[in-house]
Amino acid sequence: MFASMLMFCEVTNPKQLWDAHWESLSDDIQAMTRCERADPTITLSEDALKHRALYEIDQVLIHNGHRLEDFPTLSKSNYIPSVHGGNRLVQEELAYDRHSLTINADNVEDRLNDDQRNAYETILNVVTNKQGKLFFVYGSGGTSKTFIWTTLLSRL
């Protein structure tokens, strides 16, 4: 609505209008951010809410041939969108339940045999110490190569 007012009405003081109504203009930003990041506990600061709202307003303006810069009294947004650009599939892949993965890793580590545990601990040590080595796990079908990898991924 704010973007429409800027584009189609002759708002004499956009900053004053923004300052008076920014809270109602950004009331869904918190929920949108929680949904995007798949984290219902995120709480944005007042500044972060304002910048994200201004970013969203700027996006509407851009789609209509305008920019926030066309209204010099308004602040510019310093919000930087995530790298995945709101792609729902990427968001779902990044929405790991870290707590359940940790519990799963604790449970499955006990099921590793000696050779698997040796490979697991070696790889885990290299990754946690950021040594940057390359590993190739090989074996016949049914030797639980996938089990080692899924156990590592649960732990990491």
Token pair belonging to 152 = 């590592």
Q: What percent of the chain has pLDDT over 70?
A: 90
Separation between Cα atoms, residue 69 and residue 58, nearest integer Å: 9
pLDDT digits (tens, 9 = 90+) for 85-139: 556 666 666 666 777 777 888 888 888 889 888 988 999 999 999 898 898 888 8
Angle between helices 98-109 and 145-155 (to 10 degrees): 130
Strands (E), 1-156: none
Q: Identify the band that residue 20 occupies on the pLDDT scale cut at 50, 70 and 90.
A: very high
Return the pLDDT at 153.
82
Provide the pLDDT for residue 94: 65
The pLDDT of 41-47, averaged and rounded, is: 87
